[in-house]
Amino acid sequence: GSAVPEILVVDDSKVMRDMISACLRPDASFSVTQASSGLEAIERLTMKSFDLVILDLNMPDIGGLEVVEFVRGQDKLRTLPILIVTTRADDDSRERILHAGASQYLTKPFTPEAILAEARALLTTTSSPASPS
């Protein structure tokens, strides 16, 4: 199989999806798929395997946290890295995000460098054997 990491970008805003995709593109070693809702994200995740999900919290149908909970409830998706992007930066939100099982999160607005660095870091973590931190 190809060694190109598959990234699923989920946001109800097309502008945001395109922006995130564009941030990842310079690297060119990623294959990016977009989903415009939590429901679509879940459908895509059940149909094919991804190496990373970049997920917006606030979406009209199924929110980011529900998607995280769904993913963590599936045996084959349990270790899938999830990067949450959110406008909410308070401790309470952070607590909920990480408690739900997200791997990492970024607050909007973020720089292209930041999201690329986070994506790389999360993709590296999974491809190597887990070491106790």
Per-residue model confidence as pLDDT tens digits over 8-27? 999 999 999 999 999 998 77
Those residues whose C-beta lies under 8 Å from the C-beta of residue 23, and which sit 6 or more positions away, are 112, 115, 116
61 has pLDDT over 50: yes
Mean pLDDT is lowest, of 63-67, 71-75, 84-88, 103-107, for 84-88
Q: What is the mean pLDDT of residues 90-110?
A: 89
Q: Classify the phi-psi angles of 111: left when phi > 0, otherwise alpha if psi is within -120 to 50, otherwise beta.
A: beta
Mean pLDDT is lowest, of 48-52, 80-84, 104-108, 124-128, for 124-128
Position 2 scores a pLDDT of 54
CA distance 32 to 73: 24
131 has pLDDT over 50: no
104 has pLDDT over 90: yes
Position 133 scores a pLDDT of 45
Residue 93 pLDDT grade (very low, low, confident, very high; cuts 50, 70, 90): confident
Among candidates 96, 73, 77, 78, which has minimal Cα distance to 86? 96
Those residues whose C-beta lies under 8 Å from the C-beta of residue 15, and which sit 6 or more positions away, are none
**Percent of the chain predicted with pLDDT > 90:** 66
Q: Tell me which residue has tokens 């149908």.
A: 61
125 has pLDDT over 90: no
